[in-house]
Amino acid sequence: MTVYTVSGPTLTLLGNGANNTGNLLVADCVNPITGTVGPVIVKITNSSNADVATVQWGDGTVPTYTFANVSGTASGSGANAKFNFTVTNAGYSATIANAGVGYIPTETITIPGASLGGTTPTNNATVTVATANVLNAVNTLDNTSLVAGTGYTGGTGVATTASGSGTGLTVNTTASAILGSVLTLDNGTLVGGSGYALFVNPVATTTTGGGTGLTVDITASAANTVASLDALSLVPGTGYSNGTNVPTTAQGLSFGLGLTVDITQTGGIIDSVAINQPGSDYNVGDTVLINGGNNDAYIDVLTVNAGGAVTSVAVNGVGSGYSPGDTVTISAGNNDATIDVLTTNPGGSILTVAVNAQGQNYTVGETITISGGNGDATIDVLTVTPGGQILTITVTGTRLWPQPSPEATTYVLPNSTDFVQINGQLATDSFFIGNCASGNMYITPVQIVS
Going residue by residue through the chain, which has 450 residues, state the pLDDT in tens, using 9 for 90 and above. 333 333 333 333 333 333 333 334 443 333 344 443 333 445 554 444 444 445 544 444 556 788 999 999 999 999 999 999 998 767 899 999 999 999 999 999 999 999 988 889 999 999 999 999 999 999 999 999 999 998 898 999 999 999 999 999 999 999 988 788 899 999 999 999 988 867 789 999 999 888 999 999 999 888 789 999 999 999 999 999 999 999 999 999 998 999 999 999 999 999 999 999 999 889 999 999 999 999 999 999 999 988 888 999 999 999 888 989 999 999 988 899 999 999 998 888 999 999 999 999 999 999 999 999 999 999 999 999 989 999 999 999 988 755 444 444 555 555 555 545 554 443 333 444 444 444 334 443 323 333
Contact by Cβ (8 Å): 55, 422: yes
Q: How far is CA 33 from CA 61, 151, 387, 404, 431, in A?
A: 12, 82, 49, 10, 6
Return the SS3 of 73.
strand
One domain for residues 363 and 341? no
Integer Cα distance of 209 and 405 in angstroms: 94
164-174: b (≥16 Cβ within 10 Å) or e: eebebbbbebe
DSSP 3-state of 115: helix
SS3 143: strand
- Nearest residue to 68 via CA among 48, 78, 83: 83
Does 238 lie in the same domain as 209?
Answer: no
Whether residue 129 is found in the same domain as residue 186: no
Distance separating alpha carbons of residues 362 and 358, to the nearest angstrom: 9
Amino acid (one-letter) located at 298: Y
Contact 404/60 with Cβ under 8 angstroms?
yes
| Structure confidence at residue 184 (pLDDT) | 95
One domain for residues 313 and 338: yes
* Residues present in the chain in total: 450
Total tally of structural domains belonging to the chain: 5
Instruction: Answer yes or no: do 424 and 379 share one domain.
Output: no
349 with 150: CB under 8 angstroms?
yes
- What is the domain range of residue 299? 223-307
Give the C-alpha separation, 82 to 18, whole Å: 53
Rounded distance between C-alpha atoms, residue 370 and residue 162, angstroms: 9
| Domain end position, chosen among 279, 307, 335 | 307
Closest CA to 2 of 449, 445, 443, 409: 443
**Largest separation between any pair of C-alpha atoms in the chain:** 176
82 and 214, same domain (yes or no): no
Q: Is 295 in a helix, a strand, or coil?
A: coil
H-state helical runs in 103-189: none
Residues 333 and 434 both lie in one domain: no
